[in-house]
Amino acid sequence: MRKPQPSALAALTSLPRLLALVALPLVCAIFVDAAPARADLVVLVDGDVMKVAGFQANGDQAELTFPSGGRMTMPIDRVDRVVDDEVVPEPAKKAVEVVADALKSALVPLHFEEAQAKVPDGPYGAMIFEAAKRHKLNPQVVAALIRTESAGNPHAVSNKGARGLMQVMPATAERFGVHKESLLDPRSNLEAGVTYLSWLIEQFPNDLSKVLAAYNAGEGAVWRYNGIPPYHETREYVKRIFGRLGITATVAGL
């Protein structure tokens, strides 16, 4: 019987590796195709909601890309907000968390209290204190929200169109009497954001978690879910602000 030539043996030996190299990209492609695409929910000022694959604010215009591949441009004034559509499972609440929900708002007062109110740290601390006092809000809550929204950068502009210290959308500013062109001015931005925050506190009295969730995801989403919406982005947002205020995630029930 003829013995295989060395070259033939080498080819046979390397065949499994060759097949593996060929198959690997195919397997990766299958998993990539199978991975769910990220999507956002674009909430319009008239209450309509659109699911998009991409959103980009360019000045006074917003460019939307739909999962089907279609595109659309609209005035940024029509957009109330853009939130992450990634939904997290709703965990069953433990008894301690139910009790914590009733107590957590008492841990940090929402309203301005002369005896306890302090000027927040940072270059805009005095301005934040002044706006919070004028609207009867706890300045520390406003400051924690600002640190989370913009890290205190008055010139911050997100790809979703939110602007300034409190990352106010142009439509929200106009809704509360502030011109969108002035949103990069710290004082005007604070006036718009704090006015909106004060209005949310009226809608969700003594419930800090709902107020913060509404600031991020919109009051409509909080009303619809009767609590923090099951959006990963919104839950992390509330958790970060609670952390800045000294409320742990366990106590907050998040």
How far apart (Å, rounded) are the C-alpha atoms in residues 168 and 181? 12
Domain with CATH 2.30.30 in the chain: 40-84
Supply 93's token pair: 């609440």
Share of the chain above pLDDT 70, in %: 75
The DSSP string of 34-47 is HSPPP-EEEEETTS
How far apart (Å, rounded) are the C-alpha atoms in residues 189 and 170? 10
How far apart (Å, rounded) are the C-alpha atoms in residues 73 and 65? 9
pLDDT score at 170: 96
pLDDT score at 85: 74
Stronger pLDDT, 13 or 217, i.e. the higher one:
217
Mean pLDDT for the chain? 82
pLDDT score at 52: 92
- Give the type of residue at 12: L
pLDDT score at 89: 63
Tell me the range of 10-19, 102-111, 157-166 where mean pLDDT is highest.
Answer: 157-166
Q: Answer yes or no: is pLDDT of 97 > 70.
A: no
Q: Which residues contact 133 (CB under 8 A, 6 or more apart)?
A: 112, 117, 139
pLDDT category of residue 90 using cuts at 50, 70 and 90: low
Q: Answer yes or no: is pLDDT of 17 > 90.
A: no
40-84: CATH, from 2.30.30, 2.60.40, 3.90.660, 1.10.3470: 2.30.30
Q: Judging by beta carbons within 10 Å of its beta carbon (0-12, 13-18, 19+), is residue 116 exposed, middle or buried?
A: exposed
* Dihedral sign from CA coordinates of 107, 113, 115, 119: positive
Domain with CATH 1.10.530.10 in the chain: 95-252
Listed range (63-67, 93-97, 110-114, 246-250) with the worst mean pLDDT: 93-97
User: Which residues are marked as active site?
Assistant: 149
Output the CATH code of domain 95-252.
Answer: 1.10.530.10
Looking at residues 54-82, what average pLDDT do you find?
92
Q: Which tens digits make up the pLDDT trace of 144-165? A: 999 999 999 999 999 999 999 9
The gap between the terminal CA atoms of the chain, to the nearest Å, is: 74
Listed range (29-33, 109-113, 145-149) with the worst mean pLDDT: 29-33
- Mapping DSSP to helix (H, G, I), strand (E, B) and coil, where does residue 28 land? helix
pLDDT score at 26: 39
Looking at residues 229-249, what average pLDDT do you find?
91
